[in-house]
Chains A and B, each alone.
Chain A
Amino acid sequence: MSPFLALFKRDLTLAVREGAALGTALGFYLIVVAMLPLGLGPDLKLLGRIAPGILWIALLLAALLSLPRVFEADHEDGSLEVMATAPLPLELAVASKALAHWVSTSIPLALLAPVLGLMLNLDIAIAPVLVATMLAGTPAISFLGSVGAALTLKARRGGLLLALLVLPLYIPTLIFGISAIGFANLGQEGFSASFLILSATSLASVALAPIAAAAALRLQLS
């Protein structure tokens, strides 16, 4: 088995055995979405209108919550040092771990979104579009997030700092994700343009974020 696949498979195995991390992220997603009607009032028309935005923002926050663990565990037990001396470039190791994060956390969150949408009176016709934009947009969440996780690896109160660093980077994904849903909802032409830019943001993150994250990790190890 190639080193890249071995690491990917190991991270997925660990994600399944340490199911609490995914459970916590999903639970967090659920509770943030449930708190909003308690604050805004149970007006179903209002909720239905703002549902895509709520679901997207809550998804960003839930994914953010799970990011610190991406490198933390490997740093604490010394695996990261061994990886840094292995033939597989650290950039690819980072990409493998970010990919595992996407599969083990971002995809389940995206798939939970339409279920939570029911609670917000989301138009069921939009649900497939919502999930499609999330699946296209979340690689950026996991890969850009890995940069933040690498930068804050040794920071005190790393989790809060991570949010501050990474949330601004998520703005394009949020804007194009929401606008793609908006265009699809109105049956307008702009959907494909928004969706393509959303996908391009993800692809660019997949290509470039591992380089930055690996550089940050090398500095953390020195």
Chain B
Amino acid sequence: MLLHADHLTVERGTRTVISDLSFTARAGEALLVVGPNGAGKTTLIRTIAGFIPPSAGVISLKGDTSDRDIAELSHYVGHLTGVKSNLTAAENLAFWAAYLEGGDRAAVSDKVDHALSLFGLGALADYPAGLLSAGQKRRLGLARLSVAARPIWLLDEPTVSLDAASTELLAGLIQEHLAGGGLVIAATHLPLGLEEPTYLRLGAKGAADLSPEAQP
């Protein structure tokens, strides 16, 4: 699978945030989007997720046999967790499992149990999510990644409010996803323990260049 952006230009209001950007992300490969604040990292991720229509250029997907569009093939993890305070941790995750992938009750509950213990929330499964700490809520949000299979992961600053242990966990999950032929595009400053990430560097003025070197 191959995600290709061709001469992409994105405008926010009157400002051109991304201009004439082309890049390719391949299956089994992580594309890390880096750049200073305001360089358009979030805008790029949201454009790929289909929230923002580009004003010029196209994003296309090759090698996918289903007739779903990029958004439906993607997990989008933004700044917000998508966690409801008045549902328990398990209920939150069970909802997303059913909503994103469906399946019968037993299958959903298996996936939820597995994901909760993976993210160290097993003991807190029946606690209202409102009681959890910021980091735990964040992990509960990320646990969504493992209850529904999606070939493309779009992650916007996924390591925010995660401690070292959680970051390591996420890095492991990403590597597993890549090894299984998945595709990851993440806006992040941490290398996430990846061996050979590709960096997509967005400049302050929206200029961009693609380089395989380590970050600045």
Q: Which residues of A are at the interface with B, using a C-beta cutoff of 8 A?
A: 1-3, 6-7, 10, 13-14, 17-18, 73, 76-79, 81-88, 218, 221-222
Contact = CB atoms under 8 A, between A and B. Distances in A.
Interface stretch (B19-27, B80-88, B117-125, B199-207): B80-88
Contacts of B103: 1
A82 B96 contact: yes
A3 B51 contact: no
Contact of A10 (B53, B81, B95, B141): B95
Given A82-B76, A85-B76, A222-B52, A77 B84 contact: yes
Given A14-B86, A14-B87, A85 B50 contact: yes
Interface stretch (B31-39, B66-74, B167-175): B66-74
Interface in B104-142: 104-105, 108, 141
B52 to A, nearest CB: 5
Nearest to B97: A6
Interface residues of B, number: 34
Most buried by B among A78, A85, A87: A85
- A interface majority secondary structure: helix
B80 A77 contact: yes
Contacts of B197: none
Contacts of A221: 51
- B interface majority secondary structure: loop
A84 B51 contact: yes
Contacts of A87: 68, 72, 100
Contact of B82 (A1, A2, A14, A82): A82
Nearest to A18: B86
Closest 4 CB pairs of A and B: A78-B80, A6-B98, A17-B86, A78-B82
Nearest to A80: B82
Given A84-B50, A85-B72, 4 more contacts: A7-B99, A10-B84, A85-B71, A222-B52
B99 A78 contact: no
B72 A86 contact: yes
B29 interface: no
Contacts of A79: 82, 84
A47 B68 CA distance: 58
27 contacts: A1-B104, A1-B108, A3-B100, A10-B87, A10-B91, A14-B84, A76-B80, A77-B83, A78-B78, A78-B81, A78-B141, A81-B78, A81-B82, A82-B76, A85-B71, A85-B72, A85-B74, A85-B75, A86-B72, A86-B99, A87-B68, A87-B72, A87-B100, A88-B99, A222-B51, A222-B52, A222-B53
A13 B51 contact: no
B98 A1 contact: yes
Interface string B141-174: 1001000000000000000000000000000000
Contacts of B102: 1-3, 6
B79 interface: yes
